[in-house]
Amino acid sequence: METQPSALSPQPSTVRINAFLASAGLGSRRAVERLVLEGRVQVNGSIIRELSHRVDPSHDQVTCDGKPALPASLRYVMLNKPRGYACTRSDPHGGKTIYDLLPVELRHLAHAGRLDVDSEGLLLLSNDGDWIFKLTHPSNEVAKTYVVEVEGEPDRQTLEKAQLGIQSQGERLKVESVTKLERTGRVTRLKLILREGKNREIRRIFGALHHPVISLRREAVGKLKLGALKSGAWRELEKGELLAAGC
């Protein structure tokens, strides 16, 4: 999966109560779940015992044992995801996840969109729900840039088909632009830009066009570029980057 909008509610700034409590420094996810189940947490004066309950950190008043649970400061992180890591908090098959690459204090962050296990490159994470919503919602059409290696050498007509779009499983799939970078033997490197990412969209397009994807790396999201960040490494975004991104 190259990019996929997160399953956001109509109020994208809300977070699950356990994630909020963990980010407020009240313990690990498991520890704060016990606080909720024991009835020690109140939201706007009412005891909350449901772990699925969501809160809006900018409006709701959350207390634990009668003491305010203060919203965590907003964090914005760039991660260079390696191949072999899943964009999930826990892999049911026991595989590696992107959260294994982050320190404990950042593991409450949500990822903005996804990269499938076999893909690599730029992944953005934050506890700012509005920011994630702006990055991922299809209506905002934030450009995502990829460098992709495919089997064979697609001709001009094939690349035009990728831009015009194909039908796959009831969906219209297309890239906004595609540039041929180089050919080495039976492999061609392409630079692609997507505005709206669907499930494994790039792989599905070029598979249908008989040029299966060998490797896929996301280089940029909007004006935020991966740059020289090493595979598996992360860093916090600078204020200037956030302003330049316009999100």
Residue listed under structure tokens 């991966």: 226
Residue 152 sits at φ, ψ, to 5 deg, of 75, -165
**Residues classed as catalytic:** 116
SS3 state at 129: helix
Q: Could you tell me if 209 and 153 are in contact, meaning their C-beta atoms sit under 8 angstroms apart?
A: no
* CA distance to 162, 201, 209, 247, per residue, from 188 (Å): 15, 18, 14, 33
How many DSSP H helices and E strands does the chain contain? Answer: 6, 17
Quick one: which of 91, 165, 157 has its CA closest to 100? 91
For 115-135, letters b (16+ CB in 10 Å) and e give bbbebbbbbbbbbbbebbbbb
84, two tokens: 């072999």
